[in-house]
């Protein structure tokens, strides 16, 4: 009787050891064949800049002086597109861009925020003060629509884009994005570009 109990106890211990040893293998197969990761760790959609060369946008400052996005070369640009009346989603993007820049700490000086305004209406003075530091430029909506890629069922005004310091369109964030996940993407871009 005692020997039978010991044998049962021994079998359970052996089963437990085998289960522990097999768990990582089972988990990896489950991940690969069931979850099917895409091999990417970024949140935003990486864009091939060769497919989206920057066009002449006919941009100008709010006081009418011509300016090109090239004026900010050497900096990472967080870019949003919207009308001057800036409804709630527009304000959310402005806030997200401001906070994302601040969250980068010492690296924030490497980032510029740009709002491309698609009409000639005046921008609210309170909004300009609240988001001081955001480059507010007017640009032709036709040029923006033909340049900036969108997710199916969305418009350029639904996204925040990232342009690298050389002027390449690199990243598009989804509509109503998660700022925490955006922060991680931007941190990775800044870190990778500062190596070397």
pLDDT of res. 56: 87
Report the distance separating Cα 137 and Cα 30, nearest Å.
50
Report the distance separating Cα 111 and Cα 163, nearest Å.
10
Report the distance separating Cα 86 and Cα 118, nearest Å.
11
**What confidence tens digit (pLDDT) does each residue in 112-124 have?**
999 999 999 999 9
Mean pLDDT of the chain: 87
Q: Number of C-alpha atoms within 13 angstroms, CB side, residue 80?
A: 28
What is the token pair recorded at 91? 């304000």
What is the token pair recorded at 184? 């991680």
Report the distance separating Cα 131 and Cα 134, nearest Å.
6
In order of 20, 78, 193, the CA distances from 91 in angstroms are 51, 14, 29
**What confidence tens digit (pLDDT) does each residue in 35-82 have?**
445 555 789 999 999 999 999 899 999 999 999 999 999 999 999 999
Report the candidate in 122, 141, 106 with the shortest Cα–Cα distance to residue 62: 122
Tally: H helices and E strands in the chain: 5, 7
């Amino acid at each position: 009787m005692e020997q039978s109990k010991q044998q049962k106890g021994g079998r359970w211990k052996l089963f437990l050891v085998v289960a522990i040893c097999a768990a990582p293998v089972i988990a990896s197969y489950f991940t690969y064949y069931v979850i099917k990761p895409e091999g990417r760790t970024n949140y935003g959609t990486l864009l091939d800049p060769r497919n989206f060369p920057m066009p002449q946008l006919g941009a100008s400052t709010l006081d009418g002086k011509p300016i090109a996005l090239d004026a900010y070369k050497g900096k990472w640009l967080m870019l949003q597109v919207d009308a001057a009346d800036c409804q709630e989603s527009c304000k959310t993007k402005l806030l997200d861009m401001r906070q994302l820049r601040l969250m980068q700490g010492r690296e924030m000086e490497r980032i510029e925020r740009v709002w491309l305004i698609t009409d000639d209406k005046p921008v609210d003075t309170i909004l300009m003060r609240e988001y001081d530091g955001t480059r507010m430029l007017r640009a032709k909506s036709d040029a923006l629509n033909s340049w900036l890629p969108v997710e199916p069922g969305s418009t350029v005004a639904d996204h925040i884009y990232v342009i690298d310091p050389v002027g390449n369109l690199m990243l598009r964030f989804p509509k109503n994005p998660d700022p925490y996940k955006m922060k991680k993407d931007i941190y990775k871009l800044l870190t990778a570009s500062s190596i070397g």
